[in-house]
Homo-oligomer: A and B are copies of this chain.
Amino acid sequence: MNEFNEYFKSAFTVDNVIFGFDEGDLKVLLINRGEEPYKSKWALPGYFVYPNEDLDAAAKRVLDELTGLRNVYLEQVRTFGAVNRHPFGRVITVAYFSLIKISHYNIQPSSIAKKAKWHSISKVADLAFDHKEILEACFHRLKWLVRSRPVGFELLPPKFTLTELQHLYEAILETELDKRNFRKKILSMNLLIDLDETQEGVAHRPARLYKFDREKYEQFLAEGFSFELKESKKKEKKSRSKKVRANIAWKD
């Protein structure tokens, strides 16, 4: 491996965009840097990947040290590798994002955690390194994800109202949604369990509480999204060689 020695002089980090949702607002957990470079600038939590550590494990570690949370939604997004993005040398970074329930988040005793603070996604100014770009890429991915899978629940407390859920979608998608259509759609998926409880102590008609039916969702996934559940077009022509339907969407 002699001829390749020159390539073994670089490093890589993970950076984690930790999303949370509170007060109707989508938030991201940022660290105020205590040291150079970019001292006292806000930055994404991240660290070098240890020599004997898988990438995903590094992302989990960073998250755990900061929030104390483990089994949360975590996904790799993209790797950023501009030549001069880090002043210490050649460092590329693998960006991850995770979705956590802010109510479950407890500030950790680690020194790094004391520097952490939630920021409204819409108010984040510039960040250290290329972290603003990373944040944007992760937000974009979340937007897409939330349309294709019901991951939104990862950000809500275990019991929530439909309005809270709608506000979450609105915050992520940066749109307004029609209340009736939203409810119709969300309920028609049968992934919510009506807890038969209501809010208490609110100065208006209390809302029903729901929880996410994770079991049904897993089952749903396992069946490969159960396409072709209908299967009752005609009286089943001698098990016709499946003329498949697949549509082309051209949306984002």
Chain A contacts to B: CB under 8 angstroms:
1, 4, 6-12, 48-49, 51-55, 76, 78-83, 88-90, 92, 94, 146-150, 169, 173, 175-178, 182, 185-186, 189, 225, 243-252
Contacts and interface: CB of A to CB of B under 8 A. Distances in A.
Name A's interface SS. loop
A1 B35 CA distance: 12
Given A10-B11, A176-B243, A243-B178, A189 B53 contact: no
B82 A94 contact: no
Contact of A148 (B48, B173, B185, B250): B250
B147 A250 contact: yes
A89 to B, nearest CB: 6
Contact of A11 (B8, B81, B82, B89): B8
Contacts of A149: 250
Contacts of A225: 251-252
Contacts of A252: 148, 225
Contacts of A12: 10, 12, 81, 92
B54 A8 contact: no
B92 A55 contact: yes
Nearest to A80: B55
Nearest to A176: B244
Contact of A189 (B7, B89, B186, B250): B250
A144 to B, nearest CB: 9
A83 B52 CA distance: 6
Contacts of A55: 79-82, 92
Contacts of A49: 7, 81
A163 B152 CA distance: 40
Chain B CB within 10 A, most for which of A4, A89, A246: A246
